[in-house]
C-alpha cells in the first residue's frame, strides 16, 4: 500500500482533559473539550468542580463554573490547552505515524487539533494531558536509550520507517514544542529534553544553544540547566525540565506568554514585551524582581543574537491564583547575514524592536528600572560574556572555526552597541 492509498482518519470530536493539581502525583479528570464548528469548547466536569482542591486551569480563560466555556476573543481554543499541544516537530511525527511516512503532498495542516492532543505523548510540558476516556487514564509513552532515540529521530528526518518500539519511544517527545528534532529522557531523578542536531542545520545549532545557555547562567539569569554531550558522534543538548519536581509524579502547571497576553498563533505577532510587563505588574508574584529578570533576558537575547524571542518562548508557572516566571529556555543565537536585526517582540511602548542595547535603555522605565540600573545590567552582561566566552565555548564543545563564526556575528554583534 502506498502513502497515497492511506485514508485520512476521521478526526475525533471530543477529548477529556486531565490535570495534575498542585502537589499531586496522579492526575484527575478536569473536563471535556468538544469541537463545535470551528472552535473548541471546554466544560468542567461536575466531579472536578466539587473538589475542594480544584483550581482553574487558567484565568481568565477557564474560570471554575458549570456549562460550556467558549475560547476568549477570536481564539479557536483556550490558550492554556493549546500550550499543552505539540508543535511542528511533534505534528510531523504524528502525521508520519498516520500516513506510514511523510509524503510531499501532506503537511501538518491536515491534522485536527484534537488528533494532535490525543495522539501526542502524555509526558507533555506542564500539568495537563488529553485522553479519550473520562474515567480511565492511560498514558501514551515509550522508553528507549538516548542513542536509540537519536537514531530514531535521524531515521525519521530521512523518511525511513521505524521499528514499533522506537516509534513509540519517539512519540513520547511529540508533546514538547518547537520545530527541531527532540526527545524526552530520564536520568535517575532528572527529567531531560534531548535536542538533536538536524540534517538541515546550516550551522551548529545544538552547540550554539548550549553556549548561550551556559553564558546565561554566568550573567545571572534564571535559566534551565543544560549541557552539550556527544552521542553517536553528534552533538546533543540536554536541558533539564523545570515543569517537574524532585517528587516522583508531580507536575507543575504553566502557560506561555502568548496565553498570558490573550493571543493565539494567528495574532502572536502583536505580542510585545511592554504588554507582558504590564501583566507581570498586575498578576505575578514578586513583580519587581520579575520585571528586572524579564529586562535582563531581553538584554541577553540581544547580546547573543537570539531574535527568536517570540511569546511562546516565554512562560510562567500557574498555581491556580498567581503567575511566576519559569526559568529561561530556548536561548539560541540565530543566523544573520548582516548586522542589523530586530527582536521578535517590541521592547518599548512605541514599538521599538531594534536589537540594540540603546533600545533597552530607552525602555527601562517600562520594567521599573532607572536608566542607570538598565545600563548597569547591560554593562555587566557584556563584561561577563567577554570574560567567560572561552570557558562557555569549551563546555559547549565549539571548535575554533565555530567560535570564530559565532563571535561578533551572533554573540556581541557590533550592531548591538551602535549609537550607544
pLDDT in tens, the chain (420 residues): 344 444 556 889 999 999 999 999 999 999 999 999 999 999 999 999 999 999 999 999 999 999 999 999 999 999 999 999 987 777 777 777 766 554 444 555 668 899 989 988 899 899 999 999 999 999 988 767 888 788 877 877 777 776 776 677 676 666 676 667 888 888 878 899 999 988 788 889 999 999 999 999 999 999 999 999 999 889 999 999 999 999 999 999 999 999 999 999 899 999 999 999 999 999 999 999 999 999 999 999 999 999 999 999 999 999 999 999 999 999 999 988 778 999 999 999 999 999 999 999 999 999 999 999 999 999 999 999 999 999 999 999 999 999 999 999 999 999 999 765
Q: Fill in the DSSP letter of residue 129.
A: E
CB neighbours of 308 closer than 8 A, spacing ≥ 6?
330, 332, 334, 344
pLDDT digits (tens, 9 = 90+) for 289-335: 999 999 999 999 999 999 999 999 999 999 999 999 999 999 999 98
Q: What is the pLDDT of residue 274?
A: 98
Is residue 327 within 8 Å of residue 297, measured between CB atoms?
no
Note the helical H segments in 85-221. Answer: 88-99, 113-119, 146-157, 164-171, 205-218
3-state helix, strand, coil in the chain (%, to 5): 35, 20, 45
Rounded to 10°, the helix 371-395/287-304 angle is 60
How many other C-beta atoms are found inside a 10 Å radius of the C-beta of residue 101?
15
Identify the CA nearest to 402 among candidates 209, 203, 200. Answer: 203
CA-to-CA separations, 155 to 45, 143, 159, 196, 234, in angstroms, rounded: 42, 17, 6, 12, 14
Domain range 254-417, CATH class: mainly alpha
**CATH, domain 146-240, list 3.30.70.120, 3.90.1150.10, 3.30.200.120, 3.40.50.300:** 3.30.200.120
CA-to-CA separations, 223 to 184, 217, 315, 392, in angstroms, rounded: 19, 6, 12, 15
What Rg value do the Cα atoms of the chain yield, rounded?
Answer: 22
Is residue 185 within 8 Å of residue 192, measured between CB atoms?
yes
Please name the residue that has the C-alpha cell 473520562.
134
How many other C-beta atoms are found inside a 10 Å radius of the C-beta of residue 3?
14
Q: What is the pLDDT of residue 154?
A: 80
Is residue 128 within 8 Å of residue 57, measured between CB atoms?
yes
β-strand partners of 193: 184, 239
d(CA 119, CA 97): 10
Identify the CA nearest to 97 among candidates 173, 200, 21. Answer: 173
E strand or H helix that includes residue 323: strand 323-325
d(CA 300, CA 327): 14
Identify the CA nearest to 364 among candidates 287, 298, 279, 285. Answer: 298
DSSP 231-282: ETTEEEEEEE-SSB-SSTT-B--EEEHHHHTT--TTTGGG-BHHHHHHHHHH
CB burial string 305-340: b at 16+ within 10 A, e below: bbbebbbbbbbbbbeeeebbbbbbbbbbbbeeeeee
d(CA 269, CA 276): 13
Q: What is the pLDDT of residue 106?
A: 52
Q: What is the pLDDT of residue 357?
A: 98
Q: What is the pLDDT of residue 72?
A: 95
Q: What is the pLDDT of residue 212?
A: 98
How many other C-beta atoms are found inside a 10 Å radius of the C-beta of residue 282?
9
d(CA 56, CA 28): 13
Q: Where are the domains of the chain?
A: 3-131, 146-240, 254-417
CA-to-CA separations, 115 to 10, 138, 303, 320, in angstroms, rounded: 9, 16, 40, 27
Q: Is 227 helix (H, G, I), strand (E, B) or coil?
A: strand
Q: Is 8 helix (H, G, I), strand (E, B) or coil?
A: coil
E strand or H helix that includes residue 183: strand 182-187
Amino acid at each position: 500500500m502506498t502513502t497515497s492509498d492511506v485514508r485520512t482518519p476521521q478526526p475525533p470530536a471530543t477529548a477529556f482533559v486531565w490535570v495534575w493539581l498542585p502537589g499531586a502525583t496522579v492526575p484527575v479528570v478536569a473536563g471535556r473539550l468538544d469541537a463545535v464548528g470551528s472552535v473548541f469548547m471546554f466544560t468542567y466536569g461536575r466531579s472536578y468542580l466539587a473538589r475542594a482542591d480544584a483550581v482553574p486551569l487558567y484565568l481568565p480563560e477557564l474560570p471554575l463554573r458549570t456549562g460550556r466555556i467558549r475560547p476568549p476573543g477570536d481564539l479557536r481554543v483556550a490558550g492554556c490547552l493549546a500550550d499543552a499541544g505539540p508543535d511542528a516537530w511533534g505534528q510531523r511525527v504524528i502525521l508520519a505515524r498516520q500516513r506510514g511516512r511523510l509524503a510531499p503532498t501532506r503537511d501538518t495542516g491536515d491534522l485536527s487539533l484534537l488528533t494532535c492532543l490525543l495522539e501526542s505523548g502524555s509526558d507533555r510540558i506542564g500539568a495537563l494531558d488529553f485522553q479519550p476516556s473520562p474515567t480511565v487514564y492511560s498514558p501514551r509513552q515509550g522508553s528507549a536509550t538516548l542513542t536509540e532515540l537519536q537514531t530514531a529521530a535521524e531515521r525519521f528526518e530521512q523518511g525511513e520507517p521505524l521499528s514499533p518500539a522506537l516509534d513509540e519511544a519517539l512519540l513520547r517527545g511529540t508533546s514538547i514544542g518547537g520545530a527541531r528534532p527532540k526527545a524526552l529522557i530520564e536520568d535517575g531523578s532528572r527529567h531531560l529534553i534531548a535536542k538533536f542536531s538536524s540534517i538541515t542545520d546550516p550551522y551548529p545549532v545544538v552547540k550554539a544553544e548550549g553556549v548561550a545557555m551556559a553564558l546565561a547562567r554566568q550573567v545571572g539569569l534564571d535559566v534551565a540547566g543544560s549541557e552539550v554531550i556527544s552521542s553517536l558522534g553528534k552533538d546533543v543538548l540536554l536541558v533539564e525540565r523545570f515543569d517537574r519536581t524532585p517528587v516522583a509524579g508531580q507536575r507543575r502547571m504553566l502557560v506561555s506568554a502568548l496565553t498570558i497576553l490573550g493571543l493565539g498563533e494567528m495574532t502572536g505577532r502583536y505580542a510585545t514585551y511592554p504588554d507582558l510587563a504590564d501583566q507581570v505588574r498586575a498578576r505575578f508574584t514578586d513583580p519587581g524582581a520579575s520585571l528586572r529578570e524579564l529586562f535582563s533576558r531581553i538584554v541577553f537575547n540581544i547580546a547573543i543574537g537570539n531574535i527568536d524571542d517570540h511569546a511562546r518562548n516565554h512562560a510562567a508557572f500557574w498555581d491556580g491564583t498567581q503567575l511566576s516566571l519559569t526559568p529561561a529556555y530556548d536561548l539560541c543565537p540565530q543566523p544573520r547575514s548582516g548586522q542589523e536585526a530586530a527582536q521578535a517582540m517590541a521592547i518599548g511602548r512605541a514599538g521599538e524592536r531594534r536589537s540594540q542595547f540603546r533600545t533597552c535603555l530607552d525602555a527601562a522605565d517600562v520594567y521599573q528600572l532607572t536608566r542607570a540600573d538598565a545600563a548597569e545590567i547591560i554593562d555587566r552582561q557584556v563584561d561577563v560574556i567577554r570574560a567567560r566566552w572561552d570557558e562557555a565555548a569549551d563546555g559547549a564543545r565549539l571548535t575554533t572555526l565555530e567560535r570564530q563564526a559565532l563571535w561578533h556575528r551572533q554573540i556581541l554583534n557590533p550592531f548591538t552597541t551602535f549609537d550607544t
